[in-house]
Each structure stands twice: as structure tokens, then as C-alpha cells.
Amino acid sequence: MIIVLRPDATSSQIDHIVEKTKEKGLTPFVTRGVERTIVGLIGDERILAAWDLENIPGVEKVLAVLKPFKLASLDFNPERTKIKIGRVIIGDTQVVVIAGPCAVESESQIIETAQKVKEAGAHMLRGGAFKPRTSPYSFQGLAEEGLKYLAKAREETGLPFVTEVMDTRDVALVNEYADVVQIGARNMQNFALLKEAGKYPRPVLLKRGLSNTMEELLMSAEYIMSEGNMQVMLCERGIRTFEKATRNTLDISAIPVLKDMTHLPIIVDPSHGGGKWKWVAPLSKAAIAAGCDGLIIEVHPNPEEAVSDGSQSLRPDKFQKVMEELKVIAEAIGRRL
Amino acid sequence: MIIVLRPDATSSQIDHIVEKTKEKGLTPFVTRGVERTIVGLIGDERILAAWDLENIPGVEKVLAVLKPFKLASLDFNPERTKIKIGRVIIGDTQVVVIAGPCAVESESQIIETAQKVKEAGAHMLRGGAFKPRTSPYSFQGLAEEGLKYLAKAREETGLPFVTEVMDTRDVALVNEYADVVQIGARNMQNFALLKEAGKYPRPVLLKRGLSNTMEELLMSAEYIMSEGNMQVMLCERGIRTFEKATRNTLDISAIPVLKDMTHLPIIVDPSHGGGKWKWVAPLSKAAIAAGCDGLIIEVHPNPEEAVSDGSQSLRPDKFQKVMEELKVIAEAIGRRL
Amino acid sequence: MIIVLRPDATSSQIDHIVEKTKEKGLTPFVTRGVERTIVGLIGDERILAAWDLENIPGVEKVLAVLKPFKLASLDFNPERTKIKIGRVIIGDTQVVVIAGPCAVESESQIIETAQKVKEAGAHMLRGGAFKPRTSPYSFQGLAEEGLKYLAKAREETGLPFVTEVMDTRDVALVNEYADVVQIGARNMQNFALLKEAGKYPRPVLLKRGLSNTMEELLMSAEYIMSEGNMQVMLCERGIRTFEKATRNTLDISAIPVLKDMTHLPIIVDPSHGGGKWKWVAPLSKAAIAAGCDGLIIEVHPNPEEAVSDGSQSLRPDKFQKVMEELKVIAEAIGRRL
Amino acid sequence: MIIVLRPDATSSQIDHIVEKTKEKGLTPFVTRGVERTIVGLIGDERILAAWDLENIPGVEKVLAVLKPFKLASLDFNPERTKIKIGRVIIGDTQVVVIAGPCAVESESQIIETAQKVKEAGAHMLRGGAFKPRTSPYSFQGLAEEGLKYLAKAREETGLPFVTEVMDTRDVALVNEYADVVQIGARNMQNFALLKEAGKYPRPVLLKRGLSNTMEELLMSAEYIMSEGNMQVMLCERGIRTFEKATRNTLDISAIPVLKDMTHLPIIVDPSHGGGKWKWVAPLSKAAIAAGCDGLIIEVHPNPEEAVSDGSQSLRPDKFQKVMEELKVIAEAIGRRL
């Protein structure tokens, strides 16, 4: 950590800073430049997380040298994490496709969809039993009933499933049913939920918040991991920008940049990323080409009648066509679907 | 709601849309323009919240006529909401000032701060017992112990207090102690938490999320209100933009714009808004001049040693000076502090 | 265009609106809903561009039915534009690669780079003679001397070149030398420059501004086209968001979305999009997979010594490797490099 | 400047960096931490503007110690700049109000408006003769004819005027007529225009770009100043964010933050900031309370018929009422209108 002092910082202010940093167990070294004096600190700057250096008189700004996350860092663990779910391995050469409806609406709907996406080549099923909806007047999900239908669909098709949890009180329940527990974008910094999910064994699919940086995403992964659950996969699902032509702006650069920062696998959600079914194919191809480890795609047997996110859901026949296109891209970069 | 059709929409697609909207209980009317045909719908379009019109073949886009919130709307309830907490009324002519440390650190710290902010003229106390921190390695709050210290500080000074709740499992507990329950920016769309807070009697201070629109803020208020708790105050605390010189960008226009959309009182947080204690005075003056109903300001007896957000906390003596400056502005616009 | 009236709009206000719109040559039709009355307008709403309907008493908001651009619209011209530059055709099955240094630094530097990128398979050369730099103290480009060196490099290699123009006074000069004239992101809404470029025959590569919407990009293309120059190619080069890990956020969804809005070819700049040479390969692959018509990539023989944007420039040997990887992706989607 | 090395940086890479920085005339000092080695550089880091350190092998990131602007910096010139225009002084105790229509439409329109705003207490006139419009089909301004009408209005009322220039070829002309030359938001990084305006004597009102940081705004001021024209005033006019309820988000914190960075006066544009006439009063009050030196407000005798930006223009009678409200705020903070 580097502390840049104000041009008018006094000697006694500098002495105070030097003393304080020593108290915290760090080794300070002072360098006087032409326009500014700086104090460098040797030691693990993360122990300063709770200490606001910028508030000390004479300080102009503080520059971090180290990243604030550890368990999630590629420096800390240079071997890439692989997550095994049944016969599926996420983070290996295969690009894993998770598909299904936004919300579980009925037993027949989810079973039918599961069969269709399996036929098309999907490796896992998705479906929401607890739905985060902007409006309290929108469909809120079937709760445990939905989880039961998902388990039924898994039984029928063999597809493991991922489903979202929104309430700390439901984490145990969702862990009982699901193969992977999803924490949604709106809960990316619901720290109580992150900690709770970290106490249970199921792998977690953690979605990036609408306006969260990659560093914050990794800090949230760190919350889960610091409770003991190391099986975290990160999901880029579009960020919020000024652009209005798409629901969100899919941050495709997050794939290589995160790969450079962390050993955790990266999943991309092209359905929320673009917000319209017709952008799913090009965005999925782009995501595979950029190196993602998996995709999570919304498929609905009858999008027009979907209770949520119908306009970004693919029909099963279109999904099948997309899968064929994706296979070619995966192979072109030496992976497989 | 207005449905704009694609230039190549067929008659049978138009007929299908007309039929479908009738099924939903709405009255459609079709108008053929030079370049586009549109279908207007008469009726409460909110019943369509669960139906994705954009997914119907032939549809280009859908334009909303009505706002998606109801209980929070000024149209629905033209009388401004006043929230009474002890002798304090939020939403009336007085500009209410809530002050205190970011986190409760010890009994003496919170009591000392409460006394100091009371002397300076604050009307309520703030202090976090449950702390949402980006890093799992940062101080996470004293939990119930912190609530007890806050209650003690209230006893000593008579100041009612607001404190944050982050977990649905803690809502009952926080309701037992606090006068106002805060839902923080990172939980603005934690819908489970919103619903839970809506079931309890304490007024809720709801902070705007870092990248949430005013409409979404009102939808989150609607979640609380639709559970029966009508005592919601909205808090603008800065939004996330590309600008790096400030921690957030305080959206000062949110004050008059929200006043035009809703009857709920508007509080401003200049401490998080700017992220540095030296911006608190100018931003607070601006907020009062723009018509806010209250301010929530971070004050710490020794910001340099604060366990969180020290750099945006005012020392008690500076806070007192700020209060004097604010009084003048409040009076200039016909209100009082 | 749909005019939504306020709930308290009076009959005389409605009559006034009806009359006014008739004066403008449009056909109004009034529909009374349960909560709102609306006035729809039949006719070319673009004639209303200069008329602020929202300012008329009784009006709550105005919803557009048509897009505000015409010449650039796919509706208007459903045949995709192909731009021929020497033997290169942009907008056809080939994915065109434009490569070269950020700035022309010397005759030998640009000739050496041109030879190297040609060997690697690039189809066109890039290089800045007029450089838009954030700081007045940074290198500002060699001006006409740079154009001469570019022409020399073209002579030596046969590669046509694109170069930026920043000043209306230089448009004629740049047209004399260049094969394609670039208008940079910071000048996307420099309307005087757009008009001037539209009066000359050279094709224009128009870069999207840092915070401009796709619609605004098309409006800027419309400026060039409405002066008579129909040979415009659009360039996505990253937009500005809150994310700090990358210089910009490459908006990959702009490729399919623009393809749906316009017949103009789409070029992607992965060098500025990511801001670091190591993101060029994954972002380029993603862009091709998403359907772009070309790439513009920064290559410098010695990036460490580059006078500008060195950190996002590839060395020639790395560029060659990237080209091989891109070829495979292009072929996988049925195109060629 | 601090160079943070990668954990795997080799000794020879470190030696190379040390040597290179010495060549550039800086004094390097190397410090080895537990997890990272850093190289600090003593000397004016601005001489490195053209050198991309991040591209040197072994470098992880580079942290700046100094600000990149000099002439505009408060460090460099601690005395606040005052700009004298006739009897008006911008940057002194008076809060200066500049008012008038978005565009000059006719001689009578601008003269009538000038008289009305003068009566209401405005100190300067505004009006556009060259109009930057998103659409080529919108009114583009009266050009020199408009400048003549503005000069006529000045003659009639004694009000000096500010008007925008968009083309380097028009800078001399606008300097002949105008008292202050405006460079608009869309041209904030039109560096050719900045330089040209810097060569002429008229003070420049420089508007912040829609997505430009305060640092970039100051770099653009530096462009003007480095050509010799030190009379620059900065204008905050709203930035682009995800919020859709307002045209832009007025960054009120820019006022105190810029005051802390620069000696140049700060003007606020509440008309573009909010995008609706009804937000002008609250935003203007907020801006004065936050410490701005002036306001630039759109006033039109008949906003409904305005050729541009009618919905954000005040009628003269409303403007008069706003002025009275603003006077009270200015006096409350010890200034005058």
C-alpha cells in the first residue's frame, strides 16, 4: 500500500503516519519526491481493510498494491477449479450448457422442457422456484413445490439442476433438492445469504450484480469460500449501462479478465445479457469464443405464455439449432459442447 | 399499453394479438399508421406484468402508459406521508437530521456519539449493528450486542435510532430494538427482506441501490407497502457512474423527481453520496435546497480509528459547524432544522 | 407517436393538442383509458423532431413509434451495404482485418509495421497522423507528414489505409491521402465534422462514442449519409461503464443489435475495447463469432516504446498468432479472414 | 509514479525497468514487499505521459502519484480565477446567472427574451447560433445571422452573451461577436476546437462531456490554457447514467470536488442537467447551495413553439419567480445573485 501525502503535509503528520503503520505491524518507508512525499507499506495490506488511511491528516490518497481477495485469487491458487456435478465437470475442456425456463410453472412444463433441452444436448437444467421479481404483483415462484417438480424432472431425464435461493431461511431447503445453488445478481452483495450458502456443501453459481465490478464479484465469492465452500462458479449476465437497446450490456471482456484474476470457472448468461431471444445465439457464440466454461440459457416450450422473461426465452426447436451452431464454435477453439 | 407491430406483421398475427389481449380482460384498439400498425390496450396494464407481449410474433416493441407501482404513487395517494417517530415527524416542515457512526463499535463510542450529535441538534441516531462489508475480512458488526448499545444510547439521550437489517432472520429482532429499520443499498432488491420488513410495524428507511432507477426504488417500496407497512421513507445515497473522483454520484435530481412520483418522504445520505467528510457540508446544503425531508450523516468521535467508513465521517465539532450552516439553508426555503 | 396525457388533463388541453397536431400535418386519434387518455398520431413523426410535445400543458409523456433515423435504417434499405476499397470488400463474407500502430511515428516504423501485418494476413493498414490525446502534453501526431508515410507504406505493401481526421479543416487533405477516413469516438457527435466528411467521396469509419447509444451512432451515420456519402461503416470500440478492470467495456451485443437496425457494416476495435494487448485475442474471437464484418487492431513493432497506447498494442509475432486463431473462428461460422 | 511488479517478475526485468526509468530522467527506488516488488519513481511523472509502462515485461500495474493537469490545478495556482465580462465578474461573490433560449430563432425572439431575462435579474444572455443536434433533420441554427441578432440583443439590453462554437473554422467569427465562447458537451474532447479557442482572447465556457470525468474536464481546460487563454470556466451539465427518469444526472458533487482540484470558476446548467423546466428551480437552488459560481438557464418566451429543447425551457414569468427563490439561497450562504 502506498500513501500519497498532500503537498502541505507536515513532518509531524508524516511521523504520525509512520508510527501508526508500525503499530499495525507493517513496515513503512518514506520517499520524498519533487512534488509529493509518499509512504510505502510492506506487509499484508489486507490487515488494513478496517482502517481508513485517507482520513489521517496530511494524507491525499491511498493506492493499493495487492488485490483484496485471496482464496478466489489465481495468485493464491494457480490451479483452475473444476466442479463435478454428477457426470458433468464445469471448468474442464467441455463447455457446459445449462438450459430451462426462467420459472418453474408446473410439473408438466418443467418435465417437458427438461426432456427437450436434454434432447438438444444440454447438460444441466435450470428453473426458478423462488423468483426475484421487480414487482410484488408479478409471479413469485412455486417455492418448495417448484423444487419438487425440478427433482422430478431430474429423475426423468438425469439432468442435474441449478435453482436460485433468495432467503437465508431457504438455503438448507434448496441444498436438499438442488445440485447447484444460484445466488442471483440482485443478491450478489446480500452478504448474509453468501455466508449461509458457504456453510452448505452444494456448489454455488454466483451471478454478477448489475453494477458490480469484477473485483466485487470476487469479493462476494470470497465470502462464500471463507465459510468453507470452495465450489463457486462465477456468472457474467450483463451489466447496467446507459444503452437502452438491450436489457443489459453483456460484458464479454469479463471472461478473459476474470480468467486472469481467478481460478474459478466462468459461466455466461446470454439470455439476461441481451434480454431478447434473438440475441442468444450471437452472444453465446461470442462467449464460447472468448473462453467461457459454460452457458446458462432460458428455454421455454411456449415463451408467449411464460409467466416471466418470455421475451428472452428460446423455443426448444430454436434452442436445438443454437446448440448445433455452438458445437462448431466450441470445436474451433479446441473444446467440446 | 401500446403494442407497436413490425412493418411485416401479418393480419393473422394482428388478429391473434387482439384476441389474446381480450382474453386478458383488456380492450384493444388497432390503428394503422403509414409505417407501422399499433394496438392500444385499455384497462389496467399492470395485470399484464406476467405476460411478455414482446415475445408474440409480429410485435416490435411495447410502450407502457401507466407506472408499474400503485401504493407508492402520488397519483394513488396525493396526500404526502408523514412518519412520526417519538416527537420527530419525517415528511413535515422540519428537515430531520439522523447522525451517528457507520458502525456501533462499543457502548461508550455510541453513547458518546449520541450525546455529541444531540448537542449539535440532531434529531435521531444512526449506527450499524449488522454491517454489509464488501470484504469478509472486514469488521461485520456487533449484532445484538450493538442493538443493545444503541438502545442504551437512546435511553441516555432520548434520540430514537435507525439501524440496518440484512437478514430476514433478524427482522423481528431489529424491530424489537430499533425505531426505524434500514434496508441498505445492496439489499434494495432483496425481495425476501423487503417482504419481511413489510410484515412488521417499524417504519423502514429504504436506500436506493447503486444502479437502481427511481422507478425500481418505488417498486421496492411497493413490496414493503403491499405487505401492510405504509411507513416507508426513501433514501438517495449516490449511484454508481464512471466518475472516479467521488465514491458515488449523488443524484440530487432524485429529490424533486421522486417528490413528483410519490408521496413518501425523501432522505439524503451525503456521507455515502460523496464518500469523503469534506463533501458532506456542500452536499447536505444542496439536498436541503432541493427539497429533501431529512439527512442521514456519519459522525464518529475519532474517524481515524473508525472500523468502517472513517474517511466519510465527520468529527463531532465539524458536524456541529455543518448543522449551523444547514439551519440557514432550511430557513431560507421556509423550513426548519 | 403516442402522447400520454396527465390524469388531470382538461378537455380544452386535449382539444388544443388535437388541433396542434393537425396543424403539423398529422392525424390524431384520441383514446380514453381508465386512468389515462392518450392521443395517437398517424404520419411521419420525424417531422416533429423540432417540436417539444412534452412541453404542452396536460402532457405527461411522449412515446415514439418510429426510429429517428432513415437512410441508415434496415427498414429503409433492406440490402446490406458493401464497401469496396481496392480489392477489399467490407460487409461481404470476408472478415476484414485492419491493423497497424496507434500513431504513425516515422516512415520506417509505419512501413515496417505495414509489411509485418501484411505478412500476417491483414487486409488494410491503420495509423494515426492526427491523434486525439487526453493530454495536451502527449504526442499529437505527425499531421501531413504522417499521411505521406502512410501513403508510402501503401505503395510498398499494397495495403489501403484508414486514418483519423479531427478537424473540419483537414477533411479535404485526409481525403486526398486516405482510403478510409476515420471519425473517432470523441468526435462521434462533432456534427460539423460529420457533415464535412459526408461531402467527400472516401468511405467513413465512424466510431461509437464512449457513452453513446446505438441509436445515436446511427443518427451520426445519418449526418454523413444525408450529405451524400453512403459508404459508412460503424465501429464498436467499447463504452464507458463503472468497471475499472478494463479501459472500456466492449459492447459485444452491439454487433447483432446493430445488424438488426441497419444495413451498414460493423467493425470492432478490440484494442480500445479492452485496453490491453492480452484481451485482443479473446475479444476478437468473440466479435467474429458474434458476426462482425471486420476488426481494427493495434500492432506496433515495439510496444514498449510506442508514443501512444503501447499497452494495448500487439507485437507483430503475437498478431500473427492471433490471426491464425481468428481464421479458425471465421471458418467455423462460414466466413473467411 | 509507482510501478507494481508481477509476483513472477525476474531480476533482469526489474533491472530493465530501473535502467529505462533512469534514461527518462527519473530516479527509481526499488522496494521488495512480501507479495510484490514495487519501483517508485521520483521526478515529474508527466514526462512519462507518452510512455506505456504497463507494457514492459514484468509490470502488473502503474499507480499515478501526481495529477496529469498543471495550469488548471489548484496546487499550481492557489488563487481562484476571476473572469471579468463587462461589469460582470465570474468567480467572485456574486452568483452569475446566464439566461436565454436554447437556439436563436429570430431577431424579435432573442431581443424579447433578452429584455425579459434582464428584467428578471439575469446578468448575461445565452442563445445558440450553431446548434449541435442529434438529428440532421432538426433545426441547425441561424449561424452568423444568429450572432448578429445576439449582438443586437446585447446592444438593446446591455447584456453580454455566450454562444456555442462547433467548428474550428468558426472560432474567429464567434470571437468577433460573442463575449464568451461556449464549447459544448459533445465537443469537450474535440481537441482541435479546444486548441483553436485557446488561441483567441474570449473567455471560454467549457461544458463537461456526457461521460467525462472531472479529471478529463480539467485536461480539456488544460488544452485551452496551454494555448495561452487562461479564462476558462467549467460547466457541469449532467452526466449520462442508467437512470431514465431524467435526461441526464446532474453531478452536484462536481461543484465542491472541482473547487478542490482547480482555481477555475464553476457554472451549472440545470436545464440540461434535469431536462425538464420543472426541475430547474430545485436543481438551481442545490447548485448555489453547493457553491457554484454561476448558472446557465434556458428561458424561452413560448417553449411550446421552441425549435429545440422546449421542454426544458422556462417561460419568462416562471424564470422571474425562480430568480427570486435563488436570491434567498445565495444570501443564505453569504453570496448575492
Give the pLDDT confidence of B158-192 residue by residue, as tens digits: 999 999 999 999 999 999 999 999 999 999 999 99
Kindly state the average pLDDT of the residues A92-113.
Answer: 96
Residues of A in contact with D2 (CB under 8 A): 2, 38, 40, 63, 65
Of the candidates B63, B91, B114, which is a domain's last residue?
B63
Q: How far is D91 from chain B (nearest CA, A)?
A: 17
* DSSP secondary structure code for residue C77 in this structure: -
Bridge-based pairing of strands D59-63 and B232-236 is unpaired
Q: Which grid cell sits at A85?
A: 456435478
Q: How far is the CA of C319 from the CAs of A272, B304, C104, C323, in angstroms?
A: 33, 50, 18, 6
pLDDT band at C36 (very low <50, low <70, confident <90, very high): confident
Q: How far is the CA of A6 from the CAs of A45, A55, B276, B302, in angstroms?
A: 21, 12, 16, 21
Whether residue A23 is found in the same domain as residue A123: no
Whether residue D57 is found in the same domain as residue D87: no
Higher-pLDDT residue of D50, D228: D228
Question: For residue range C265-295, what is the model confidence (pLDDT) as tens digits?
Answer: 999 999 999 999 999 999 999 999 999 999 9
Cβ–Cβ gap A303/B167 under 8 Å: no
Q: Please, what's the b/e burial string for D252-275 (b: 16 or more CB within 10 A of its CB; e: otherwise)?
A: bbbbbbbbebbbbbbbbbbbbbbb
Kindly state the average pLDDT of the residues A266-280.
Answer: 95
Residue A100 has phi, psi (to 5 degrees) of 155, 180
Give the mean pLDDT of chain A.
Answer: 92
Q: Please, what's the b/e burial string for A287-315 (b: 16 or more CB within 10 A of its CB; e: otherwise)?
A: bbbbbbbbbbbbbbbbbbbbbbbbbbbbb
Whether residue D182 is found in the same domain as residue D44: no
Domain tally, chain D: 2
The pLDDT value recorded for residue B116 is 97
Kindly state the average pLDDT of the residues D30-50.
Answer: 72
Q: How far is the CA of C158 from the CAs of A41, B89, C99, C123, C152, in angstroms?
A: 55, 78, 14, 9, 10
Whether residue D127 is found in the same domain as residue D247: yes
Q: Which residue of B has its CA nearest to C43?
A: B34
Smallest Cβ distance to A40: which of D34, D35, D40? Answer: D40
Instruction: Please report whether residue A145 resides in a domain.
Output: yes
pLDDT more than 90, % of chain D: 72
Report the residue of D218, D248, D251, D253 to disrupt the B interface, i.e. the one with the largest count of B CBs within 10 Å. Answer: D253
Q: Which residue of C has its CA nearest to B8?
A: C75
* DSSP secondary structure code for residue D209 in this structure: P
Q: Which grid cell sits at B217?
A: 426504488
CA-closest candidate to residue A102, choices A263, A268, A307: A307
Residues of D in contact with B274 (CB under 8 A): 253, 256-257
The pLDDT value recorded for residue B319 is 97
Task: Show pLDDT as tens, one digit a residue, over chain B (337 residues).
Answer: 788 888 888 888 888 888 888 887 788 878 777 677 888 777 666 666 556 677 778 888 877 777 788 899 998 888 999 999 999 999 999 999 999 999 999 999 999 999 999 999 999 999 999 999 888 888 889 999 999 999 999 999 999 999 999 999 999 999 999 999 999 999 999 999 999 999 999 999 999 999 999 999 999 999 999 999 999 999 999 999 999 999 999 999 999 999 999 999 999 999 999 999 999 999 999 999 999 999 999 999 988 777 777 788 999 999 999 999 999 999 999 999 9
Q: How far is the CA of C283 from the CAs of C30, C117, C329, D37, in angstroms?
A: 50, 19, 12, 31
The pLDDT value recorded for residue D85 is 97
Other C-beta atoms lying within 10 Å of the C-beta of residue C11:
9
Give the mean pLDDT of chain D.
Answer: 92
Cβ–Cβ gap B42/C33 under 8 Å: yes
Parent domain of C316: 83-332
* DSSP secondary structure code for residue B39 in this structure: E
Whether residue A136 is found in the same domain as residue A191: yes
A265's CB contacts (< 8 A; 6+ apart) are: A80, A81, A82, A83, A90, A91, A233, A234, A293, A294
The pLDDT value recorded for residue C28 is 82
Kindly state the average pLDDT of the residues C56-70.
Answer: 80
Cβ–Cβ gap B245/D255 under 8 Å: no
Whether residue A139 is found in the same domain as residue A194: yes
Looking at this protein, which amino acid is placed at residue A113? T
Kindly provide the ipTM of the predicted complex, given to two decimals.
0.91
For residues B84 and B106, give the distance between their C-alpha atoms in angstroms, rounded to a whole number. 29
Whether residue D87 is found in the same domain as residue D51: no
Question: For residue range D215-268, what is the model confidence (pLDDT) as tens digits?
Answer: 999 999 999 999 999 999 999 999 999 999 999 999 999 999 999 999 999 999
Q: Can you tell me whether residue C190 is helix, strand or coil?
A: coil
Give the domain CATH number at C32.
3.30.70.1140
Q: Does an H or E element contain C237, and which?
A: none
Cβ–Cβ gap A257/C241 under 8 Å: no
| pLDDT above 80 for A66 | no
Smallest Cβ distance to B213: which of D239, D244, D328? Answer: D244
| pLDDT above 90 for D300 | yes
| pLDDT above 80 for A45 | no
Q: Can you tell me whether residue B26 is helix, strand or coil?
A: coil
Q: Are B215 and B67 in contact (CB under 8 A)?
A: yes
Instruction: Please report whether residue B111 resides in a domain.
Output: yes
Q: Are A50 and B308 in contact (CB under 8 A)?
A: yes
Smallest Cβ distance to A42: which of D2, D33, D44? Answer: D33
Report the residue of A214, A246, A284, A285 to disrupt the C interface, i.e. the one with the largest count of C CBs within 10 Å. Answer: A285
CA-closest candidate to residue B44, choices B61, B65, B16: B65
Question: For residue range D149-173, what is the model confidence (pLDDT) as tens digits?
Answer: 999 999 999 999 999 999 999 999 9
Of the candidates D19, D34, D63, which is a domain's last residue?
D63
CA-closest candidate to residue C289, choices A331, A287, A252: A287
For residues B131 and D104, give the distance between their C-alpha atoms in angstroms, rounded to a whole number. 55
What is the C-alpha end-to-end distance of chain A, expressed in Å?
A: 44
Instruction: Please report whether residue C76 resides in a domain.
Output: no
Cβ–Cβ gap D290/B286 under 8 Å: yes
Cβ–Cβ gap C304/D52 under 8 Å: yes
| pLDDT above 90 for A28 | no
Cβ–Cβ gap C289/A286 under 8 Å: yes
Whether residue B248 is found in the same domain as residue B285: yes
Q: Which grid cell sits at A135?
A: 414487482
Whether residue A20 is found in the same domain as residue A106: no
Residues of C in contact with D311 (CB under 8 A): 52, 54-55
Report the residue of C35, C45, C76, C240 to disrupt the B interface, i.e. the one with the largest count of B CBs within 10 Å. Answer: C35
Whether residue D113 is found in the same domain as residue D157: yes
Instruction: Please report whether residue C204 resides in a domain.
Output: yes
Instruction: Please report whether residue D76 resides in a domain.
Output: no
For residues B27 and C32, give the distance between their C-alpha atoms in angstroms, rounded to a whole number. 11
Cβ–Cβ gap C241/B242 under 8 Å: yes
Of the candidates B10, B35, B63, which is a domain's last residue?
B63
The pLDDT value recorded for residue B50 is 54
The pLDDT value recorded for residue D48 is 66
For residues B27 and B5, give the distance between their C-alpha atoms in angstroms, rounded to a whole number. 17
Please give the full DSSP string across D125-153, using - where no structure is assigned: EE-BSS---SSTTS----THHHHHHHHHH
Residues of C in contact with B33 (CB under 8 A): 42-43, 65
Whether residue A35 is found in the same domain as residue A91: no
Cβ–Cβ gap C257/A246 under 8 Å: yes
Give the domain CATH number at C96.
3.20.20.70
Instruction: Please report whether residue B72 resides in a domain.
Output: no
Q: Which of A3-17, B272-286, C32-46: highest mean pLDDT?
A: B272-286
Break chain D down into helix, strand, coil percent, rounded to 5: 40, 20, 40
The pLDDT value recorded for residue A108 is 96
Whether residue A173 is found in the same domain as residue A44: no
Residue with cell 451471478: A207
Residues of D in contact with B246 (CB under 8 A): 253, 257
Q: How far is C10 from chain D (nearest CA, A)?
A: 17
Kindly state the average pLDDT of the residues A87-95.
Answer: 96
Question: For residue range A50-64, what is the model confidence (pLDDT) as tens digits?
Answer: 566 777 788 888 777
Question: For residue range B59-71, what is the model confidence (pLDDT) as tens digits?
Answer: 888 777 777 888 9
pLDDT more than 70, % of chain D: 96
Cβ-based interface (< 8 Å): residues of A facing C: 211, 213-215, 239, 241-246, 249-253, 255-257, 260-261, 273-274, 278-279, 282-283, 285-291, 325, 328-329, 331-333
Residues of D in contact with C68 (CB under 8 A): 134-135
| pLDDT above 70 for A177 | yes
Instruction: Please report whether residue A71 resides in a domain.
Output: no
For residues B314 and C22, give the distance between their C-alpha atoms in angstroms, rounded to a whole number. 60
Give the mean pLDDT of chain B.
Answer: 92
Q: Which grid cell sits at C140?
A: 499529437
For residues C212 and D321, give the distance between their C-alpha atoms in angstroms, rounded to a whole number. 36
Give the mean pLDDT of chain C.
Answer: 92
Q: Are A206 and A186 in contact (CB under 8 A)?
A: no
Instruction: Please report whether residue C68 resides in a domain.
Output: no
For residues B293 and A259, give the distance between their C-alpha atoms in angstroms, rounded to a whole number. 47
Cβ-based interface (< 8 Å): residues of D facing A: 2, 4, 7, 29, 31-36, 38, 40, 42-44, 63, 65-66, 75, 211, 240-242, 244
The pLDDT value recorded for residue B41 is 76
- ∠B192-B194-B197 over CA atoms, to 5°? 110
Kindly state the average pLDDT of the residues A244-264.
Answer: 96
Q: Please, what's the b/e burial string for C235-274 (b: 16 or more CB within 10 A of its CB; e: otherwise)?
A: bbbbbbbbbebbbbbbbbbbbbbbbebbbbbbbbbbbbbb
CA-closest candidate to residue B270, choices B251, B243, B289: B251
For residues D250 and D272, give the distance between their C-alpha atoms in angstroms, rounded to a whole number. 8
